[in-house]
Amino acid sequence: MANGGDQFGLAERPDSDCMDPPKETKEETPSFTFKSAASASSQQGMEAIKVLLHDRELWSKFDEVGTEMIITKAGRRMFPSYKVKVTGLNPKTKYILLMDVVPGDDHRYKFADNKWSITGKAEPAMPGRLYVHPDSPATGAHWSRQLVSFQKLKLT
C-alpha cells in the first residue's frame, strides 16, 4: 500500500452489535476496521488509521432524546449529517470511502406511552446497498485535508 499505486483502502463497517434498538444508549466509541485490496504484506500501518465522529456532542444530544425520522420512498437525508475526520492514511494511496447503514435488529418498533415497543418483524434489509462517497476514489491526502461529509446520503 505504500507505493501509492492504484490500490484502494476499503473501510469495513463495524460489527452490528454496536447498533442498538431505539432509545437504548451505549457509551462506546464506534470502531472501524479497514481492508485493503493490496496484499497482506502491505497491511502494516493500517492500525494507525482513525475515523473520528465530528460534532459528537450534537449526536449525543439526539441520542438522549431518542430522535426518529420519517423515511420516504424517495429517501431522506440524515440529520445531523454524518461527518468524520480521517487520519493516518497514506497520502499518496487512493481510497474509496463507503457507508453501510444496517438495521440494529430484525424488529419493527412503535413509540407509545413514552417508550419504544416491538410490534413485529421488520421487512428484510436490502443486501449490498453501500453508499460510495462522491469523492471516491481519492488519495489519503484528500481525505485527511478536511472533514469528510456524507451529507448527500439518503436513508430509504
Instruction: Provide the CATH number for the domain around residue 138.
Output: 2.60.40.820
How far apart CA 34 and CA 9 sit, in angstroms, is: 7
3 assigned to some structural domain: no
Please give the tally of structural domains in the chain.
1
Q: Is the pTM of this model over 0.85?
A: no
User: Looking at residues 128-137, what average pLDDT do you find?
Assistant: 91
User: Looking at residues 35-53, what average pLDDT do you find?
Assistant: 66
145 assigned to some structural domain: yes
How far apart CA 48 and CA 17 sit, in angstroms, is: 23
**What angle (nearest 5°) sits at the alpha carbon of residue 132, between those of residues 90 and 77?**
125
Identify which of 24-28, 68-72, 151-155 has the greatest average pLDDT: 151-155
Provide the percentage of residues in the chain whose pLDDT is more than 70: 71
23 assigned to some structural domain: yes
Instruction: Output the CA–CA distances (angstroms, integers) from residue 31 to 40, 53, 72, in the order listed.
Output: 21, 11, 29
Instruction: Output the CA–CA distances (angstroms, integers) from residue 15 to 3, 12, 19, in the order listed.
Output: 30, 9, 8
